[in-house]
Amino acid sequence: MDSMEYQDKYVTKDQRQKLQELVEYARTHSEYYKELYKKVPATIHSLEELPTTRKSDLMSHFDDWVTDKSITIDELSRFIADSSLIGSKFHDKYHVAITSGTTGKNGFFITNPAETKLSAKINKKSKFSWMGAGNMAKLLVRGVRIAAITAVGEHYGFISGIVHMKSEGRYWADRIRVISIHDPVSRIVSELNAFQPTIIMGYASMIAMMTSEQSAGRLAVKPVFIEVMSEKLTDSEFEKVGSVFHVKPYQMYGATEIPFASPLCKCGWYHMNTKAVILEPIDEKGEHVLAGTMSHSLLITNLLNRTQPMIRYDIGDSILINPDKCQCGNKNPSFKVQGRSADSLHMVNDEGEQFMVPALMFVTLIDKFVQGADAFQVIQTAPSVLEIRLQYPPEIKESLRDQQWEQLCDELKKLLQDRKLNKVTIVRSLELPKREKGGKFRMVVPYRR
């Protein structure tokens, strides 16, 4: 498909106008884009006139990339290294979010107050319309109590936003409970039972796990709204959550870089948020793909963020554009996403029961203990064996690597013990993290029979 055809079909006049403005802003305020767009004409006719961007390139040119010259990677790194600052504003105004990211390398993302407000507005509007008047009324009667089940201790976007909200006053401080995904399942369950949240927010794998707990009768909560963060529920998990909690879980397709890219509709499709983003599914050669074909990757342009322009940013997801009009009535193009499903490791616990461990539980823990590593990967080589591959830059000394490994092992053992998984062995692999045949990098690779 040539680019004009895609553009004519899926990019509105308004989006093109916003892109033109963003490009102009980027090339005049960011040294990185000034250089990158040297040969780009002043007026953009086709999306393909703009070179694509990647997280690793933008991150390695951070100081030239950001449009506020007072921000440096060194200062921001110091801020991020301090976990007591989670939820605080950088330079007293920037909201900070990091990604552990699919390449295993961290990305740092910041938004100014106007950008943060705009994102929050889009997010709120989308949630309210999903909930509908009936559930909104239920929520008012029963009271707002939000349980946020998430990774804590790092500046991840969600926890950073939640901690900030809690710090704003008693209203939210009393109504939000943060629950760490690293806590033992039994503790998470008893906290939820005691708090009786009306809103539950968490990673797909945690929501799926809580669904099993509710279905087994150990958990007894009646949420009015469930929001799935970061990962995606499989279709069968989506159905199961719905039937166990009597609430259809809400999901948004997005990423830390572009938080509110596209909400899910009740027909099960994500609809492009044409006010916030431009999405371009591409094949291996970087050319646009037709509706009905799974893409190799996805380019996202964030139309809202001027602090860190992300234009034709390769996010690595495979999507499929709906060739038909969606039944829900939303006229924006709709799509499905592959390759983001919540990876879970199936294991057998000490009592011989099948047990599902969310992959993110390992990812967030490892990320914390292997400071300075370029990448890591967990491979479940047998049902009870986890092999961990680490890649360090040459300047990180062997002694530090060994020390980090020992700490990590202790923490992983605790996590496994908590879940009665004492038979699981952890192996330090001599191999380096590897990509899959298609080029996709998976941080956790479950065992396949």
- Using the contact rule CB under 5 A, the part of the chain among 92-100, 152-160, 199-207, 330-338 near Zn ion is 330-338
Give the x-and-dash track for 56-75 against Zn ion (CB under 5 A).
Answer: --------------------
Smallest distance, Å, CB 264 to Zn ion?
8
Place of tokens 């996805």: 298
Q: What's the angle, vertex CA 118, arms to CA 112 and CA 120, rounded to 5?
A: 100
173 part of the interface to Zn ion, by CB under 5 A: no
Kindly tell me which residue out of 328, 348, 396, 426 binds Zn ion, with binding defined by CB under 5 A: 328
Q: Does residue 267 bind Zn ion (CB under 5 A)?
A: yes
Binding segment for Zn ion (CB under 5 A), chosen from 57-65, 241-249, 314-322, 327-335, is: 327-335
Rounded least distance, CB 273 to Zn ion, Å: 13
β strands within 212-276, DSSP E: 225-229, 250-253, 262-263, 270-271
Q: Which alpha helices (DSSP H) does 246-338 contain, by range?
A: none
CB 286, min distance to Zn ion, A: 28
Output the CA–CA distances (angstroms, integers) from residue 329 to 20, 123, 265, 277, 326, in the order listed: 29, 20, 10, 20, 6
Beta bridge partners of residue 380, listed in sequence order: 386
Shortest distance (Å) from residue 332 CB to Zn ion: 9
Q: Binding to Zn ion by residue 269, rule CB under 5 A?
A: yes
Contact 222, 145 (CB under 8 A): no
Under rule CB under 5 A, residue 130 binds Zn ion:
no
Per-residue CA distances from 308 to 13, 17, 312, 426 (Å): 23, 19, 13, 39
264 is a site residue for Zn ion (CB under 5 A) = no
Q: How far is the CB of 263 from Zn ion (least distance, A)?
A: 9
**Per-residue contact flags (x/-) with Zn ion for residues 279 to 318, judged by CB under 5 A:** ----------------------------------------
Considering only 265, 299, 347, 416, the residue that binds Zn ion (CB under 5 A) is: 265
Closest-CA residue to 1 (of 288, 376, 353, 315): 288
Among 326, 360, 386, 445, binds Zn ion (CB under 5 A): 326
Q: Does 11 bind Zn ion (CB under 5 A)?
A: no
Neighbours of 41 (CB within 10 A): 9
Q: Which is nearer to Zn ion, 235 or 350 (CB)?
A: 235
DSSP state letters, 22-57:
HHHHHHHH-HHHHHHTTTS-SS--SGGGSPPB-HHH
Q: Which two tokens stand for residue 213?
A: 């707990």
DSSP SS3 for 16 = helix
Minimum CB distance to Zn ion, residue 127 (Å): 16
DSSP class per residue in 157-192: HHHHHHHHHHHT-HHHHHHEEEEETTS-HHHHHHHH
Strand pairing partners for 139? Answer: none
Of 151, 316, 308, the residue nearest 229 (C-alpha) = 151
If binding is defined by CB under 5 A, does position 253 make contact with Zn ion?
no
Please give the size of the binding site for Zn ion, defined by CB under 5 A. Answer: 6
Pick the piece of the chain touching Zn ion (CB under 5 A) from 45-53, 151-159, 297-305, 319-327.
319-327
Contact 145, 195 (CB under 8 A): yes
* Residue 147 interacting with Zn ion (CB under 5 A): no
Nearest distance from C-beta of residue 119 to Zn ion, angstroms: 22
User: What's the token pair of residue 403?
Assistant: 């020390």
Q: How far apart are CA 444 and CA 139, in angstroms?
A: 37
Q: Which stretch binds Zn ion (CB under 5 A): 38-46, 69-77, 188-196, 257-265?
A: 257-265
Residue 203 or residue 269: which is nearer to Zn ion going by CB? 269
**CB 326, min distance to Zn ion, A:** 3
Question: Which single residue is written with the structure tokens 């646009």?
Answer: 288
**Residue 233 or residue 265: which is nearer to Zn ion going by CB?**
265
> Which of 331, 423 has the CB closer to Zn ion?
331
Q: Measure the CA–CA gap between 140 and 163, rounded to whole angstroms.
A: 23
Rank residues 169 and 329 by Cβ distance to Zn ion and give the closer one: 329
The contact set with Zn ion (CB under 5 A) reads 265, 267, 269, 326, 328, 330
